[in-house]
Every structure is written in structure tokens, then in C-alpha cells.
Amino acid sequence: MSYHHGDLRAAVLDASFELLATAGLAKFSVAAVARRLGVSSAAPYRHFPDRAHLLSAVSAVAARDLRAEILADPEEGLLAVAGAYVRYVIRTGAGFQVIFAAELYPVPDDERREQTRALVSTLLERAPGPSHTEALRQVEATVAVAQGYVTLYTEGFFNSGSVPVADLAARAVEAARALTQPGRTSEGTG
């Protein structure tokens, strides 16, 4: 990706997602984003004072977009969370390790906080638990399963992408179904 005069802020955010998808959070830096865009290493600093502020903006976009994918998923409840999470994170590299990165807590960013709150509310609304604590545990288990499939995929457990992302998302949905609806299969029998 190279940048040709226009909306540098948007281009930096797009390149940030590309970098996360290919290199991961550990190799994420403002300089790497600038290289990806073919701009000077100083250019992104016109919009983001440092790595944390850039990552905070990415986090806000990721939380917003992940929430939208969950809401648009045809599955119900936490099953939608499992499938949408796998598809979104494999495509963008921006899972909860980015959305809820501990280094972002001190960064004053109302947009990020608003988007992450909306995402968490959506997750909890989809959990069938009889109490807040149980709903939270169901969300944690579902996300853990989905993140597990993402990690297996990105770390090469599946032979060179031999499992299509759609199939991987379906596997995460089935695992979430087993967690949230014990005794039920995708055919609805037990």
C-alpha cells in the first residue's frame, strides 16, 4: 500500500490494520505503518502523537467494526460473537489484544472508551446467563474459544490456510454452541 495525497489519517488507520493482520501487535509501530504507506516516518505523527494514540484510534475503529459485524451476523446470541470474531480478527488482526490493550488504559480517548463500552454491552446482551456474573463467564468462554481458533489459524496449526475462514468461523460457532447450549448440535438435536 502506498499513500497518494489525500486523507493521511484514514490511510494511516488502514495501513495499521494491514500491519496488524500481517505482523501482529508485537511488531506494530508508527515507523512500520509509515513504511507500509511509503511516507516519511514523521508523517503519521501529524495525526497521532505516539504509538499509543495511534493504537487507541485503531482500537476504537476495531471495537466499532467488530460490534457491527456481530450485530449483522445471522446467528443468535453468543454464536454470532464466535463467528463474527473469528472472521473479523483473521481479516484485520485487531482482536481483543488490540481493542483492550493494557497500554491504552492511560490514553485519554473518549471515542475508544465509547466504542469499547458499546462492544462490551453488546456482548453481555447476547449472553443468556441468569446473572451478570454468569453472562460475563459465558462471554469470556465464547471469546476464548473464538480467539483459540484465530490463534490456531494465525500460528499455522491449519496447513497453509487449508481451512477456509468461513469453515473456521463455523467451527467456532459450534464450539460456542456446545458451551452455551450443552446437548444441542447445529441440527438442533441432542
Report whether pLDDT(190) > 50.
no
Q: Say if residue 113 is exposed, middle or buried (CB neighbours under 10 Å; 0-12, 13-18, 19+).
A: middle
Per-residue pLDDT, averaged over 3-15, amounts to: 82
Question: What is the spatial distance between Cα 138 and Cα 131, in angstroms, rounded to a whole number?
Answer: 11
Domains by residue range for the chain, with CATH: 1-48 (1.10.10.60), 59-180 (1.10.357.10)
Q: What is the pLDDT of residues 62-81, one digit of tens each?
A: 999 999 999 999 998 999 99
**Which of 8-12, 108-112, 117-121, 159-163 has the lowest average pLDDT?**
159-163
pLDDT in tens, 141-186: 999 999 999 999 988 888 766 889 999 999 999 999 988 776 665 5
Q: Rounded to whole angstroms, how far apart are CA atoms 56 and 103? A: 9
**Under 8 Å between Cβ of 30 and 45:** yes
pLDDT, residue 156, reads 85
Cβ atoms of 177 and 83 within 8 Å: the answer is no
Residue 187 banded pLDDT, cuts 50, 70, 90: low
| DSSP of the chain | ----SS-HHHHHHHHHHHHHHHH-GGG--HHHHHHHHTS-TTGGGGT-SSHHHHHHHHHHHHHHHHHHHHHH-SS-HHHHHHHHHHHHHHHHS-SHHHHT-GGGTTS--HHHHHHHHHHHHHHHHH---SSHHHHHHHHHHHHHHHHHHHHHHHTT-SGGG-S-HHHHHHHHHHHHHHHHSTT--TTS--
Query: Is the pLDDT confidence value at 84 over 50?
Result: yes
**Which pLDDT score, from 0 to 100, does residue 4 have?**
53
Per-residue pLDDT at 155: 85
- The structure's pTM equals 0.88
Q: Give residue 162's pLDDT.
A: 80
Q: Is the pLDDT of residue 1 over 80?
A: no
Dig out the grid coordinates for 28 from the structure.
506494530
Q: How far apart are CA 22 and CA 66, in angstroms?
A: 18
Express each pLDDT in 22-76 by its tens digit: 888 889 999 999 999 999 999 999 999 999 999 999 999 999 999 999 999 999 8
